[in-house]
């Protein structure tokens, strides 16, 4: 049974026909015979529901389920021990607010809820954000850069 299509039908006719509450209507439309009887009754009252076979197919075919998105951990993170956790820790430090829905927008080593160490939608989105992955990988290679004063920058060059 395609409950969404059935509800669409109920919503479109409930004000014109005495079809009962949503639960009553749904309960009464569970069999092919009941749907055919309903189809014939409303057609006799002047409501054109189109071709019966199409109507039956629309109501009896279950909706297609959305395929689950399989997230693949990028090789750059796979090749680092605890790479996803390190990336998330780095995001907490340098991109505060990245973990929407978590306290203060950070995962905080998993203390702000689940998802720590998982390459989920927030982590993937941030990884794909322009320049972020490169910035993280440079950090992993070079370590944190200490802030320099203007004089230090001039004298080192």
DSSP 40-56: HHHHHTT-----HHHHH
Over residues 8-30, the pLDDT tens digits come to: 999 999 998 889 999 999 999 99
Q: Flag whether pLDDT at 62 surpasses 70.
A: yes
Which residues have C-beta within 8 Å of that of residue 119, sequence separation ≥ 6? 71, 72, 73, 74, 77, 84, 127
Helical pair 3-13 and 52-60, crossing angle rounded to 10 deg: 120
Name the average pLDDT for the chain: 86
pTM metric for this prediction: 0.50
Sequence spans of domains, the chain: 3-60, 75-145
Residue 39 CA from chain centroid, whole number: 36
Query: Taking the C-alpha atoms of 102, 104, 110 and 113 in order, what is their torsion angle to the nearest 10 degrees?
Result: -30
| Cα(40)–Cα(128) distance, integer angstroms | 55
pLDDT of residue 56: 92
pLDDT of residue 36: 95
Which residues have C-beta within 8 Å of that of residue 38, sequence separation ≥ 6? 28, 29
Helix (H) or strand (E) run with residue 35 in it: helix 32-44
Token pair belonging to 52:
């019966």
Neighbours of 6 (CB within 10 A): 19
Cα-based angle 53, 56, 58 (whole degrees, multiple of 5) = 105
């Amino acid at each position: 049974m395609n409950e969404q299509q059935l509800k669409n039908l109920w919503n479109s006719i409930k004000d014109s026909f005495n079809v009962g509450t949503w639960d009553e209507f749904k309960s009464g439309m569970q069999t092919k015979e009941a749907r055919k009887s309903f189809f014939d009754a409303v057609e006799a009252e002047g409501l054109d529901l189109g071709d019966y076979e199409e109507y039956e197919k629309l109501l009896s075919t279950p909706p297609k389920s959305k395929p689950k998105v399989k997230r693949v951990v990028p090789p750059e993170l796979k090749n680092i021990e605890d790479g996803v956790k390190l990336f998330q820790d780095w995001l907490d430090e340098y991109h505060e607010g990245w973990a929407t829905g978590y306290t203060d927008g950070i995962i905080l080593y998993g203390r702000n809820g689940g998802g720590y160490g998982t390459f989920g939608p927030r982590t993937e989105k941030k990884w794909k954000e322009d320049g972020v992955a490169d910035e993280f990988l440079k950090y992993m290679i070079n370590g944190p850069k200490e802030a320099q004063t203007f004089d230090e920058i001039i004298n080192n060059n």
